[in-house]
Amino acid sequence: MSDVIEFKSMYTFDFAISRIPWYFEAVEKDFEKNHRVIKDLEVKQFEVLIATHPKANIPNEFGNIVKYYRNINKGLGYGESKLIELSNKKVSEKFLYPHYETLSFKMNAGHFYDIPVDVYFWIIKKTYEQPSLA
């Protein structure tokens, strides 16, 4: 069997308004589900968290285009650097070595009208102890 990769998509504001436990629980459920089905420790499991980050407030006139614009604006009220720091901190605290390995990076995603947008990625690999031969 090939490796397994699952994806979860969110906004960075989710890290500031207490929706993160839901995302983290969903990631853990994916790992548990796949482990029960696969049972092969050689198959690697990955979860990719993708967080869209508009870097400026969304104007009210885009309210019917951008579903969560109020929450985006609320999240930006924390300050951009504080919000990103909080995002990285929560992911790294939840998915700790030796049970997980994580890699994170950011990409500039261009603009939504005049609003610059970044996308943050966290690739999380679930690690399992190899059974003892003793």
Let me know if residue 133 belongs to a domain: no
Question: Is residue 43 domain-resident?
Answer: yes
Q: Can you give the pLDDT at residue 79? A: 85
29-87 pLDDT, tens per residue? 999 998 888 877 778 999 999 999 999 999 999 999 998 999 999 999 888 888 889 89
Q: Is residue 34 part of a domain?
A: yes
What is the pLDDT at residue 70? 93
Domain that holds residue 17: 4-126
User: What interhelical angle do 69-76 and 80-94 show, nearest 10?
Assistant: 100
Does the pTM of the predicted model rise above 0.75?
A: yes
Is 68 part of a structural domain of the chain?
yes
On whether residue 131 sits in a domain, the answer given is: no
Alpha-carbon dihedral sign for residues 39, 42, 43, 48: positive
Over residues 112-123, the pLDDT tens digits come to 999 999 999 999
Residue 75 lies in a domain: yes
Tell me, yes or no, whether 132 lies in a domain. no
User: Which pairs count as long-range contacts for 23-29, CB under 8 Å and 24+ apart, including other chains?
Assistant: 23/49, 24/94, 27/95, 27/124
Domain count of the fold of the chain: 1
Q: What band does 2 get if pLDDT is binned at 50, 70 and 90?
A: confident
Q: Is residue 134 part of a domain?
A: no
Predicted local distance difference test score (pLDDT) of residue 6: 95
The position carrying tokens 């969110």 is 10
Strands 100-112 and 4-11: unpaired
